[in-house]
């Protein structure tokens, strides 16, 4: 199941690193974890607060 089909809303709380990757690339949790295992977060995503998500 793709991330955008099943989102959980947590008002007032920032997204976790996995949730940020899932949202940015529109991938599953498992795919996001594989990316995070291979590369550091700095290489996968821009800094927090630079986008509109």
The Cα 47–Cα 41 span in angstroms is 9
pTM for the complete prediction? 0.69
Q: What pLDDT shows up at residue 11?
A: 77
Q: What pLDDT shows up at residue 48?
A: 82
Residue 27: exposure state from Cβ atoms within 10 A (0-12, 13-18, ≥19) = middle
Q: What pLDDT shows up at residue 49?
A: 75
Q: What pLDDT shows up at residue 44?
A: 94
The tens digit of pLDDT for each residue in 1-53 reads 555 555 556 678 888 999 999 999 999 999 999 999 999 999 999 888 776 65
């Amino acid at each position: 199941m793709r991330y955008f089909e099943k989102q959980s809303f947590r008002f007032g709380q920032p997204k976790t690193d996995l949730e940020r990757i899932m949202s940015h690339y529109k991938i599953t949790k498992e795919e996001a974890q594989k990316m995070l295992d291979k590369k550091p977060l700095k290489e996968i995503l821009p800094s927090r607060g630079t986008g509109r998500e």
